[in-house]
């Protein structure tokens, strides 16, 4: 029987190779043997995130760093757009537009005679703010890696190019989750007289919360 260390090492190797699904299998086995090991829970969270298993990723990250709600943010990321030459600029422009749209839609949901519970609207606001901050932190990392890439010797640029591509994928995933919340909130406004769509807001908020936690953990790990 493999030890937790062997399973963890195998999972980390698979994770580095980009095989997140296989990595999750090994890391889940390591977690079952060492459920209190922070490094194992964090690695499993990363594997779940790469496999697009958002809620599982959120659960593992929260188990690794227990605490109420989303991770606290001591200093919001700058809302200034990245340089024009950066591949992070376009997704950050879309994020800024989505933030404006979500603010207007949530204002409608918060105004009487809305039947949406105020706590649901508050949670959507808090989650979207954390997700936006996490996305901007990833964008800032991407700009730094781009700068390093541009000044690196030609033979040393390949891993930096790959790093930029991975960070861009993370931005696109997170932005899709943010825009899904905007869409869900809009559908609730459009069908405010019906009790059915209100669950959509909660589900989209939960999905975005998982993305926000995962992005924050990945950003902290890279830092």
Tens-place pLDDT, residues 46-56: 888 777 787 78
Question: Residue 56 domain-assigned?
Answer: yes
d(CA 159, CA 56) in angstroms, rounded, equals 29
pLDDT of residue 190: 80
Burial of 120 (0-12, 13-18, 19+ CB in 10 A): buried
**How many separate domains does the chain show?**
2
pLDDT greater than 80 at residue 70 = no
| 135 lies in the same domain as 196 | yes
- Asked if 7 and 27 touch (Cβ cutoff 8 Å), the reply is yes
In-domain check, residue 121: yes
C-alpha to C-alpha distance for 187 and 118, rounded to whole angstroms: 17
With respect to residue 111, please indicate whether it lies within any of the assigned structural domains.
yes
Question: Cα(170)–Cα(147) distance, rounded to whole angstroms?
Answer: 18
pLDDT at residue 120, as a whole number: 81
Q: Where in the sequence is the domain holding 13, given as residue range(s)?
A: 4-64
82 in a domain, yes or no? no
Sign of the Cα pseudo-torsion (130, 133, 137, 142, in order)? positive
Instruction: Taking residues 100-114, report their average pLDDT.
Output: 85
CA distance linking residue 86 with residue 82, whole number of Å = 6
Output the pLDDT for position 158: 94
- Write down the residue that tokens 């902290």 correspond to: 220
- Indicate the pLDDT class of residue 217, thresholds 50, 70 and 90: low
Tell whether 74 is covered by a domain. no
Q: Count the Cβ atoms, other than its own, within 10 Å of residue 17.
A: 10
- Give the chain's mean pLDDT: 82
Residue that wins the pLDDT comparison between 167 and 112: 167
Q: Domain containing 173 — which CATH number?
A: 1.20.120
Note the pTM of the prediction, 2 decimals. Answer: 0.65
Query: Which of 20-34, 56-70, 98-112, 165-179 shows the lowest per-residue confidence on average (mean pLDDT)?
Result: 56-70
pLDDT band for 68, please (50, 70, 90 cuts): very low
Q: Same domain, yes or no, for 98 and 132?
A: yes
Closest C-alpha among 66, 73, 19, 78 to residue 41? 66
CATH of the domain at 24: 1.25.40.10
- Indicate if 111 and 212 belong to the same structural domain: yes
Please compute the mean of the pLDDT values over residues 118-127 and round it to a whole number: 84
pLDDT at 114 over 80: no
Q: Give just the sign of the alpha carbon dihedral 133, 138, 139, 144.
A: positive
Give the other-Cβ count within 10 Å of 123's Cβ: 18
């Amino acid at each position: 029987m493999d030890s937790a260390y062997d399973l963890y090492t195998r999972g980390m190797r698979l994770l580095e190779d980009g095989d997140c699904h296989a990595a999750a299998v090994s890391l889940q086995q390591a977690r079952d043997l060492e459920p209190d090991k922070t490094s194992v829970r964090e690695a499993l969270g990363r594997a779940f995130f790469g496999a697009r298993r958002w809620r599982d990723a959120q659960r593992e990250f929260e188990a690794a760093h227990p605490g109420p709600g989303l991770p606290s943010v001591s200093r919001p990321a700058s809302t200034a757009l990245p340089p024009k030459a950066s591949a992070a600029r376009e997704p950050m422009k879309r994020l800024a537009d989505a933030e404006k749209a979500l603010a207007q839609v949530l204002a409608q949901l918060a105004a009487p005679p809305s039947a949406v519970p105020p706590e649901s609207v508050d949670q959507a606001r808090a989650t979207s703010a954390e997700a936006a901050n996490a996305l901007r932190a990833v964008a800032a990392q991407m700009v730094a890696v781009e700068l390093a890439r541009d000044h690196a010797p030609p033979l040393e640029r390949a891993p930096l190019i790959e790093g930029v591509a991975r960070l861009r994928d993370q931005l696109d995933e997170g932005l899709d989750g943010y825009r899904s919340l905007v869409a869900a909130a809009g559908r609730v406004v459009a069908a405010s007289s019906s009790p059915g769509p209100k669950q959509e807001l909660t589900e989209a908020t939960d999905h975005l919360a998982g993305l926000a936690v995962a992005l924050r953990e990945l950003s902290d790990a890279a830092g």
